[in-house]
Amino acid sequence: MGMTVQYGQTKKQVIDSIVSKPDILDYRVVGNHLWILAKNDKNKHYILLVLISVYKLNGIGTKFLDELMIPYYYDCPLSLLKRSDYAEQNKEWHDDVKQYHETKKKRTTFIKNLKVGQVVQLQGRIIPNLTIYCLNPLQGTYNGHLYKLPKNAIKVE
For the chain, the straight-line distance linking the first and the last C-alpha, in angstroms and rounded, comes to 37
Residues making up the chain, counted from first to last: 157
User: Which segments of the chain have a pLDDT < 70?
Assistant: 1
Q: Is 148 found in the same domain as 97?
A: no
pLDDT number for residue 1: 63
Same domain, 146 and 94: no
Q: Quick one: 120 and 66 in the same domain?
A: no
Q: What's the pLDDT at 56?
A: 81
- Its domain, for residue 57, covers 4-109
Q: What total number of domains does the chain contain?
A: 2
CATH number for 66: 3.30.310
Note the pLDDT of residue 3.
Answer: 86
Residue 41 and residue 28 in contact, taking contact as beta carbons nearer than 8 Å: no
Tell me: do 51 and 67 sit in the same domain. Answer: yes
β-pairing, 145-148 vs 59-66, is unpaired
Per residue in 19-37, pLDDT (tens digit) is 999 999 999 999 999 999 9
**Alpha-carbon span 11 to 47, nearest angstrom:** 20
Of 121, 54, 65, which is closest to residue 93 (Cα–Cα)? 65
State the pTM of this model: 0.84
Tell me, what's the pLDDT at 85?
A: 96
| Boundary (domain end) residue, out of 94, 109, 124 | 109
Task: Give the tens place of pLDDT for each residue, 59-76.
Answer: 899 999 999 998 899 999
Question: Is residue 120 domain-shared with residue 70, that is, in the same domain?
Answer: no
Amino acid 58: pLDDT: 79
With CA atoms as reference, report the closest residue to 149 among 112, 111, 113: 111
Q: 8 to each of 11, 54, 106, 123, 125, how far by Cα in Å?
A: 10, 11, 41, 41, 40
Q: Report the alpha-carbon distance of residue 131 to residue 146 in Å, rounded.
A: 9
Are 137 and 98 part of one and the same domain? Answer: no
Residues 22 and 56 placed together within one structural domain of the fold: yes
